[in-house]
Homo-oligomer: A and B are copies of this chain.
Amino acid sequence: MSQGNTAVTDQVSAIDPEKLEACTLLEVLNRISGKWAIGILLEASQGPVRFTELERSVAGISRRMLTLTLRNLERDGLLERTVYPTVPPRVEYEATPMARELYGTLSGLVDWAQRHREAIAVAREVYDAQ
């Protein structure tokens, strides 16, 4: 990994791999954080869903945020959008294989959260007590 002395060509490999990792990680996080992305991805992972179905099943989401979040996920290739040219219009969204794969890797985080949920709550109470 570090053969770095060809002078010109290693501008990229000169980046601290840990910094790169943190940066890459941040990109993923930005993609799936936000209040709605995960909920939408969850629904769209079980099969094609329509706009109005999502509006109902993702509790509390507004039409605007649903549209915006769908567009972002579609743009990143995490959601596939299919329009059926019927009247009235019918549009379906479905998670791509890439998105399903991502969803799978998130289980570790869910575990962590469940194991430490209590400890975090306690830490907050202690901190807020000051």
**Chain A positions near chain B (C-beta within 8 angstroms):** 18-19, 21-22, 24-30, 32-33, 35, 38-39, 42, 59, 74-77, 98, 101-102, 105-106, 108-114, 116-117, 119-120, 122-124, 127-128
Contact = CB atoms under 8 A, between A and B. Distances in A.
Contact of A42 (B18, B24, B28): B18
A25 B110 contact: yes
Q: How many copies does the complex hold?
A: 2
A103 B101 CA distance: 20
A109 to B, nearest CB: 5
Contacts of A39: 19, 22
Contacts of A30: 33
26 contacts: A19-B39, A19-B59, A21-B110, A22-B42, A25-B113, A26-B35, A27-B113, A28-B109, A29-B29, A29-B33, A29-B38, A29-B109, A30-B33, A75-B123, A75-B128, A76-B124, A77-B116, A77-B120, A77-B122, A77-B124, A98-B120, A102-B116, A105-B108, A105-B112, A106-B108, A109-B109
